[in-house]
Chains A and B, each alone.
Chain A
Amino acid sequence: MANMAVSRIKREFKEVMRSEEIVQCSIKIELVNDSWTELRGEIAGPPDTPYEGGKFILEIKVPETYPFNPPKVRFITRIWHPNISSVTGAICLDILKDNWAAAMTLRTVLLSLQALLAAAEPDDPQDAVVAYQFKDKYDLFLLTAKHWTNAYAGGPHTFPDCDSKIQRLKDMGIDEHDARAVLSKENWNLEKATECLFS
């Protein structure tokens, strides 16, 4: 990889390690390989959001042209959020695309992603299904997001009603994640979810 990219990432890595946020356990970063091209980030779900109490893992790939082009970031931990794909973890955030600036760093990217969790933009969605639920049935969105945070990111809120519906579908031979995804999409309507799966 280009020299500038490596030397910058090394400095940025140190910056994250020295940051206050790492002391507060709100962001974390670690190396995946020795060539500094791939890193693993972690952000804590912000307080007063359905993601509170969860830890979300991110895949960070540093292009050879860094810092002239943004790092490629996606969520590895599954998450229910209008601007993040519930299937692939792809993120829709302007600074990771056209509004990237060379002065941004790993630390500011992680903090921006944390801010995105606190302030969704449903009018510029990455996941149309989640965005529709966010706008149309906000209560169900909150419930679903908390449930996903509990199931995948270690969040504290459990929803026995959701779990029993997922169990019903599992009993029919459906994979747990597929069951959760279909029920979430169908606003936890078991009949509609079953119809969707078996038609």
Chain B
Amino acid sequence: MGNCLKTSSSSDDISLLRGNDGVNSSYNETQQALNHQVEQYQRVFHPTSTSTPSIIRQQEHLTENEDHVKLAKRIGLMQHLPFGTYDGSSKKARECVICMAEFCVDETVRYLPCMHIYHVHCIDDWLMRSLTCPSCLEPVDAALLTSYETT
């Protein structure tokens, strides 16, 4: 289990990460939304960034920065997970195990590296708490990190 995700054929992974053609147009939109999100966090985390920092404040900023980087990285990772619309062809997954509602045709779903699918809003809420698949507990970041850094 799990080894199937660590293949060296990175070109395949990247094409998967970029999503399919139908997705590319909305990809830019989400990227913009992501930038906006990070900006918002920046405002919250650095309300006094214009004042001259003392040494103590510098240290505070360091940890704040770390949190900020972590958060941004996580959002960045999530945005690289492919998504698409549910076409009803998937025989295995008929319901989203997070909200337990059945998928409707044309609903936006996100694919994890383990190929489990969820409603985008359901899985994104979950990934903000834990970077693992809610069904099989496969870590989401391990499979993605290598590809993410090269893109």
A11 contact set on B, CB distance < 8 A: 100
The answer on a CB contact under 8 Å between B101 and A102 is: no
The chain B residues found within 8 Å of chain A, CB to CB, are 97-101, 122, 125-126, 129-130, 132-135, 137
Candidates A12, A69, A99, A102; contact of B98 at CB < 8 Å = A102
Q: Which residue of A lies closest to B99 (CB)?
A: A4
Contacts of A172 in B (CB 8 A): none
A67 interface residue, CB < 8 Å from B?
yes
For residue B97, which residue of chain A has the nearest CB? A103
With A68-B126, A102-B126 already in contact, the answer to whether A7 and B132 are too (CB < 8 A) is no
Given the complex, which residues of B lie within 8 Å of A140, measured CB to CB? none
Q: How far is the CA of A156 from the CA of B143 in the complex (A)?
A: 52
Interface SS of chain B: helix, strand, loop or mixed?
Answer: loop
Nearest residue (CB) in A for B134 is: A102
Given contacts A68-B125, A68-B126, A68-B129, whether A8 and B100 have CB atoms under 8 Å apart is yes
Q: Contact check, B137 vs A101: say whether CB atoms are below 8 A apart.
A: yes
Q: Which of A1-57 contact B (CB under 8 A)?
A: 4, 7-8, 11-12
| Total contacting residues, chain A, CB less than 8 A | 12
User: Which 6 A-B residue pairings sit nearest by Cβ, starting from the closest?
Assistant: A102-B134, A103-B97, A103-B134, A103-B135, A102-B98, A11-B100
Could you tell me the distance between the alpha carbons of A12 and B129 in the complex, rounded to whole angstroms? 22
List residues of chain A with CB within 8 A of the CB of B133: 101
| C-alpha spacing A103/B135, complex, angstroms | 5
Kindly list chain A residues whose C-beta atoms are within 8 Å of the C-beta of B132: 101
A-B contacts besides A68-B125, A99-B137, 5 pairs, CB < 8 Å: A4-B122, A11-B100, A12-B100, A101-B133, A102-B122
Tell me how far the C-beta of B53 lies from the nearest C-beta in chain A, rounded to whole angstroms: 35
Q: Are A7 and B125 in contact (CB under 8 A)?
A: no
C-alpha spacing A54/B22, complex, angstroms: 58
Which residues on the B side are within 8 Å of A8 (C-beta)? 99-100
Give the CA-CA distance A67 to B101 in the complex, in Å: 13
Contacts of A101 in B (CB 8 A): 130, 132-135, 137
